[in-house]
A and B are shown apart, each in its own frame.
Chain A
């Protein structure tokens, strides 16, 4: 084949491909997917796979909450996540020993329940006089003018994390305040019913209408939201500013949302959107690598078998049959489960080992026809070797077909990889869609209705599959004229 012929052929092919609308749609989807996969470190965060496994990193995120845009489809709106750093907070120093930090929070109209919790962390304390430890008071100023004392005289150190909503001591204080407002009496912390504190969510009452005469348990069960501007105030007393220093540069106040980001969060508070974006890398890489390798191996194997013929052909076809008779998924699961550390490359190799047989059989039967053509005979007469005839004269005839097969076998490979990692067999240092679904299954996300956790990964798998199916069928239509009537 001369270069001009290749160019002509390619041009003709492209002309025909342009007329296939589905093929063009597939190519556009593929370009989008590749861009998404390549830009994942910039659009989300550069080191997500390492952080994905550390539950500590995701502590400041709400757990199991739907995406923020879900509010558009529901009348009961849920507040989004809101995070303040030192620059966003109002930090004042009324005297040498007192520092006041204020965080404004607007509870917009139409929303219910308020934030899932409030987490305060990042105070740096250098302690030189241990007898005079700095302390902190926290209270919440509500739009109805009431003041809720959340914490009093809490001793702080560098590692202190205040977690309103998860800390039962703070929940107890909220309960005491509720009784104080509604019934007008002071109770001690021993009178607070422990089971209420542990079982109920004490955040909604904090952001609900509380008036004298109301029933406390009613407020906890059916809180009426009180919309308006709230102010969280942290008052830090440092009795010995000369010796003990409190540094506020790294302070972080998170109002945990009841919705989060583009795709919500899972049971550890992980940002599912980032996981989905990163998962595309693994899926695309494995899908393409597996289908390219298994197609090429199958092609060469089938053509060689057909060309050699006789006993060699019989022998090679028996090996092919043996491989296809081994039930692949059970064996893959067995190998993966007992191997120890599984890397992505190992999965590619496994899927290729169990993926080349079908293509080998088809390309053998195609090569059997080509083999009988006179030009092969001519090449033989001219003294061409087996390798030359196979690679130079037979394989190029099958290459167009190979491209269609490669595209059409990507979905299978993507699903196989996802299935394996769904069963917990996969590279633990990568984020994959199968693993996200595995976590969803083990946390019973389907029976709890966490659709934002189950839907996107599978949809992403389907989109990758569809992309290659669209390209593959378009190629198939061009190369297989019988289907072209449409």
Chain B
């Protein structure tokens, strides 16, 4: 009973936040689009003045030219939607975005103009790269973290800690550049660009994809798993000092069961939260790392959209990122409330 109420409260809360954020994003992007549209309009008007306008000026005089120019400007303003008040446009855009109607782009990307379709092409690619890498990171990180916590102070623990601190301060995209330099340029083991070859099909295609994914996945795992292991270790060290662990050991529970059955289970809520955020976050790709590897996923798509001034696509992508984050929050709350019954008491007591 209390759990459902708590859940409903969290979902409604997330929806309200999503509503407000959508309006903020729309306001921001409409402003940017308006500026670029205005400059486009003036460009077109100048062009008209030099060609048709000059003809009218010659044949019908200055007065007719002024009149024609005003008319042309008005029609152009209509074309670029500059005659509609700003807030009205923001409102329209936000409502359409909330209805998942993102509109179209002016130039085709991945062979289509529909924003939803473009995103549908890019998301699986980001999943292929970043979700795969994230799963490897989670397994490796938790396993190594638990081992380090169990042998706290050992050489292995110290080495892991130092490695984690080192990789924590590395920009992932720079590490990618370095790995490209070492493994792709110097040693020639991997390709310099991770753009897929569209001509290949079947088994050849799978081989091509695997070969091109290897280096980005390796880079991601290399930079991220140390931090995971370190965080898991710190959580686990706290748990391993609890009295119930001592009690379990005292009554003769096997050590493996103490660690994975008792301690890891008690330490699960924060780790599960981290897993949810990492997994859902990985769907969004990574802007700069994808640029470095020339990988055609979500992050690179955002950059392309920005370069080509595709406001609709930008709004669609940003909305997607926001929904991912809020979904993670709700999911994390849900599982947290499930794993740790104390949490929902606070929220439902408030209601």
Taking beta carbons and an 8 Å cutoff, which residues of A are in contact with B? 318, 321-322, 324-327, 329-331, 333-335, 337-338, 411, 414-415, 418-419, 422-423, 437, 440-441, 446-449, 451, 454-455, 457-458, 461-466, 468-470, 473, 482-483, 485-486
Cα–Cα, bound, A326→B35 (Å) = 22
Q: Which of B13, B288, B302, B325 has the most CB of A within 10 A?
A: B288
User: What are the 7 tightest A-B residue pairs by CB atom distance, in nearest-first order?
Assistant: A465-B169, A458-B174, A327-B321, A411-B169, A446-B180, A466-B169, A415-B171
CB neighbours of A337 from chain B (8 A): 306
Once the chains bind, are A327 and B169 in contact (CB under 8 Å)?
A: no
CB neighbours of B291 from chain A (8 A): 423, 441
Once the chains bind, are B292 and A447 in contact (CB under 8 Å)?
A: no
CB neighbours of B241 from chain A (8 A): 482, 485
**A423-B291, A454-B178, A466-B169 given. 19 additional CB < 8 A pairs?**
A322-B17, A325-B21, A326-B24, A327-B321, A330-B287, A330-B321, A334-B32, A437-B174, A446-B181, A447-B184, A448-B185, A449-B185, A461-B171, A461-B174, A468-B169, A473-B165, A482-B238, A485-B152, A485-B241
CB neighbours of B322 from chain A (8 A): 325-327
Tell me, yes or no, whether B192 is within 8 Å of chain A by CB.
yes
CB neighbours of A437 from chain B (8 A): 174, 177
Tell me, yes or no, whether B129 is within 8 Å of chain A by CB.
no
Once the chains bind, are B169 and A326 in contact (CB under 8 Å)?
A: no
- A322-B21, A482-B237 known; A447 and B185 CB under 8 Å? yes
Q: How many A-B residue pairs have CB under 8 A?
A: 136
Q: Mostly helix, strand, loop or mixed at chain B's interface?
A: helix
Once the chains bind, are A330 and B171 in contact (CB under 8 Å)?
A: no
Cα–Cα, bound, A415→B326 (Å) = 25
Residue of B nearest to A319 (CB): B20
CB distance from B308 to the nearest CB of A (A): 12
CB neighbours of A462 from chain B (8 A): 166, 169-171
Taking beta carbons and an 8 Å cutoff, which residues of B are in contact with A? 13, 16-18, 20-21, 24-25, 28-29, 32, 35, 152-153, 157, 165-166, 168-171, 173-175, 177-178, 180-181, 184-186, 192, 234, 237-238, 241, 284, 287-288, 291-292, 302-303, 306, 314, 317-318, 321-322, 325-326, 329
Residue of A nearest to B174 (CB): A458
CB neighbours of B165 from chain A (8 A): 466, 469-470, 473
Cα–Cα, bound, A399→B29 (Å) = 39
CB neighbours of A447 from chain B (8 A): 180, 184-185, 192
CB distance from B171 to the nearest CB of A (A): 5
CB distance from B65 to the nearest CB of A (A): 33
CB neighbours of A423 from chain B (8 A): 287-288, 291, 303
Cα–Cα, bound, A465→B165 (Å) = 9
CB neighbours of A333 from chain B (8 A): 287, 302-303, 306
Q: Which of A440, A457, A466 has the most CB of B within 10 A?
A: A466
Once the chains bind, are B166 and A338 in contact (CB under 8 Å)?
A: no
Partner of A338, one of B35, B171, B287: B35
Once the chains bind, are A322 and B170 in contact (CB under 8 Å)?
A: no
Cα–Cα, bound, A486→B162 (Å) = 14
Once the chains bind, are A326 and B175 in contact (CB under 8 Å)?
A: no
Once the chains bind, are B17 and A321 in contact (CB under 8 Å)?
A: yes
Residue of A nearest to B24 (CB): A326
Cα–Cα, bound, A331→B314 (Å) = 10
Cα–Cα, bound, A318→B18 (Å) = 11
Once the chains bind, are A318 and B171 in contact (CB under 8 Å)?
A: no
Once the chains bind, are A418 and B171 in contact (CB under 8 Å)?
A: yes
CB distance from B98 to the nearest CB of A (A): 14
CB neighbours of A441 from chain B (8 A): 177, 291-292
CB neighbours of B175 from chain A (8 A): 458
Cα–Cα, bound, A335→B318 (Å) = 13
CB distance from B148 to the nearest CB of A (A): 10
CB neighbours of A451 from chain B (8 A): 181
CB distance from B191 to the nearest CB of A (A): 10
CB neighbours of A418 from chain B (8 A): 171, 174
Residue of B nearest to A368 (CB): B346
Could you list some 17 contacts between A and B, CB below 8 A? A318-B13, A322-B24, A326-B322, A327-B318, A329-B287, A330-B318, A333-B287, A415-B171, A446-B292, A447-B180, A447-B184, A451-B181, A462-B169, A465-B168, A470-B165, A485-B237, A486-B152
- A418-B171, A419-B288, A466-B166 known; A446 and B185 CB under 8 Å? yes
Cα–Cα, bound, A482→B237 (Å) = 8
Once the chains bind, are A449 and B168 in contact (CB under 8 Å)?
A: no
Cα–Cα, bound, A440→B185 (Å) = 15
Partner of A458, one of B17, B25, B171, B192: B171
Partner of B16, one of A318, A331, A466, A486: A318
Residue of A nearest to B153 (CB): A486
CB neighbours of A419 from chain B (8 A): 171, 173, 288
Cα–Cα, bound, A441→B178 (Å) = 11
CB neighbours of B288 from chain A (8 A): 419, 422-423
Once the chains bind, are A483 and B178 in contact (CB under 8 Å)?
A: no
CB distance from B280 to the nearest CB of A (A): 12
Residue of A nearest to B25 (CB): A326
Cα–Cα, bound, A329→B285 (Å) = 12
Residue of B nearest to A408 (CB): B168
Cα–Cα, bound, A433→B234 (Å) = 33
CB neighbours of B153 from chain A (8 A): 485-486
Partner of A464, one of B166, B169, B180, B192: B169
Once the chains bind, are A422 and B21 in contact (CB under 8 Å)?
A: no
CB neighbours of B25 from chain A (8 A): 326, 331
Cα–Cα, bound, A440→B170 (Å) = 17
Residue of B nearest to A314 (CB): B350
CB distance from A46 to the nearest CB of B (A): 29
Cα–Cα, bound, A468→B306 (Å) = 34
CB distance from A441 to the nearest CB of B (A): 7
Once the chains bind, are B168 and A325 in contact (CB under 8 Å)?
A: no
Once the chains bind, are B21 and A326 in contact (CB under 8 Å)?
A: yes
- A446-B177, A449-B186 known; A334 and B28 CB under 8 Å? yes
Q: Which of A330, A451, A463 has the most CB of B within 10 A?
A: A330
Cα–Cα, bound, A486→B174 (Å) = 32
Once the chains bind, are A327 and B177 in contact (CB under 8 Å)?
A: no
Cα–Cα, bound, A449→B25 (Å) = 41
Residue of A nearest to B20 (CB): A322
CB distance from A438 to the nearest CB of B (A): 10
- A330-B317, A483-B237, A486-B152 known; A318 and B17 CB under 8 Å? yes
Cα–Cα, bound, A338→B291 (Å) = 20
Cα–Cα, bound, A454→B292 (Å) = 12
CB distance from B285 to the nearest CB of A (A): 11
CB neighbours of A415 from chain B (8 A): 169, 171
- A318-B17, A330-B287, A446-B185 known; A325 and B169 CB under 8 Å? no
CB neighbours of A338 from chain B (8 A): 32, 35
CB neighbours of B177 from chain A (8 A): 437, 440-441, 446, 454, 458
CB neighbours of A464 from chain B (8 A): 169
Q: Which of B165, B175, B234 has the most CB of A within 10 A?
A: B165
Residue of B nearest to A321 (CB): B17
CB neighbours of B329 from chain A (8 A): 321, 325
CB distance from B19 to the nearest CB of A (A): 10
CB neighbours of B35 from chain A (8 A): 338
